[in-house]
Amino acid sequence: MSRSFQQRKRIYLGCEGPSEQSYGKRLNEIADTAGLSLHLDCDVLQPGGGDPLALVQLAVKRIREKTKKRGTFAYRAILLDRDRLGQTPDRDGRIPALAIRYGLCLIWQDPCHEAFLLRHFEGQADARPASSTLSHHALKRVWPAYEKPMPASELVHRITLAGIQRICAVEAAFAEFLTQIRLPID
């Protein structure tokens, strides 16, 4: 008896580092629980973050390589920290055209991943710490056990569907990403 396997819809998610990769893995768990036939390919671009244009360029290169090996992606996105934006305005200005050209959704974490995570928690949806350091401290107040990078297995109890709904209410690009990949958030 032969088995028939349904091909999962492949989604590219560029990640600045292991923390974003763990978050992407959590989204994969939610998709699996919902019975969705999709897989987020969480690609660590550069641990510790870096120049936004260089990260987008590397994502484009990796998408091309992965497409040649395994086929096209149904959707492509990248999580980027906003705290590096503005340091080289001439380079930053090239990012939107590159993203449009390669169909890459830019999800800016303002100012960083810890602030992005913070906005998942009750009463924190509108929290906008002014720096990465302040973001980390604010996240530790609501999640004392948080350590960077937090493994995906630790996110399961803290990053809930309700938290994802909260952040989608204030992060339009992230909400659009989840809508495009059809991850149920209601």
pLDDT of residue 91: 94
Q: Give the residue from 97, 83, 79 showing the smallest Cα distance to 167.
A: 79
Q: Give the residue from 155, 185, 154 showing the smallest Cα distance to 167.
A: 185
Task: Tell me the residue type at 4.
Answer: S
Is residue 177 within 8 A of residue 105, CB to CB? The reply is yes
Could you tell me the domains of the chain?
9-180 (3.40.50)
Q: What is the pLDDT along the chain (186 residues), one digit of tens a residue?
A: 555 556 789 999 999 999 999 999 999 999 999 899 999 999 999 865 579 999 999 999 999 999 999 999 999 999 999 999 999 999 999 999 999 999 999 999 999 999 999 999 999 999 999 999 999 999 999 999 999 988 999 998 899 999 999 999 999 999 999 999 998 777
Helix (H) or strand (E) holding 20: helix 18-33
pTM equals 0.93
